[in-house]
Amino acid sequence: MNQVILMGRLTRDPELRHTQSGLPVASFSLAVDRRFGGRDGERQTDFIDCVAWRQTAEFMSKYFTKGRMCAVHGTLQIRDWQDKEGNKRRSAEVVVDNVYFCGDKREGGASGGGGYNQYDDRHAPPIDDGYSASPASGSDFAELDDDDGELPF
């Protein structure tokens, strides 16, 4: 299973580019504090490269700026490449599926909430799957009386 969840501050504004086929892609880096401090007691920070595609990239570019706290959910991707001198290099980056605002409202975001998911279906029509337990849904569920005298436990 390849899943990554990070929360940190953007080290720079997301850089929005487009591929040759016109696909939006945004690159950015998150400064993520480690859970525990080092031997000297000071907290250490990791700087993690991230990339977002399509609507998530456009959302990042429009609403997030350097210093902004955010949370991302995605997958870890390892890329092999060659530098200008022909040396083989390897890079790790998080391919972002979902991004969320974090921090307080002074930063321009909703405290603990709001985000963008490129697979977001919150605005899709409700699906009647026959499993809804609300009385208004016309399901086969019924409320029980407070009289539980006949229950075996």
DSSP secondary structure letter of residue 119: T
pLDDT tens, residue by residue, 5-43: 999 999 999 999 999 999 999 999 999 998 877 778 788
83-110 mean pLDDT: 82
Instruction: Please give the residue that has the higher pLDDT: either 79 or 121.
Output: 79
pLDDT tens, residue by residue, 39-64: 787 888 999 999 999 999 999 999 99
108-133 mean pLDDT: 44
Cα separation, 19 vs 39, whole angstroms:
44
- Residue 120: the pLDDT is 46
Token digits of residue 48: 């993690």
Cα separation, 92 vs 87, whole angstroms:
17
Please work out, in degrees rounded to the nearest 5, the angle formed at the alpha carbon of residue 93 by the alpha carbons of 72 and 58: 55
- Highest mean pLDDT, choosing among 35-39, 84-88, 141-145: 84-88
| Superfamily of 4-120 according to CATH | Nucleic acid-binding proteins (2.40.50.140)
Helix (H, G, I), strand (E, B) or coil at 49: strand
- Residue 34: the pLDDT is 87
CB 53 within 8 A of CB 116: no
| Residue boundaries of the structural domains of the chain | 4-120
- Residue 144: the pLDDT is 56
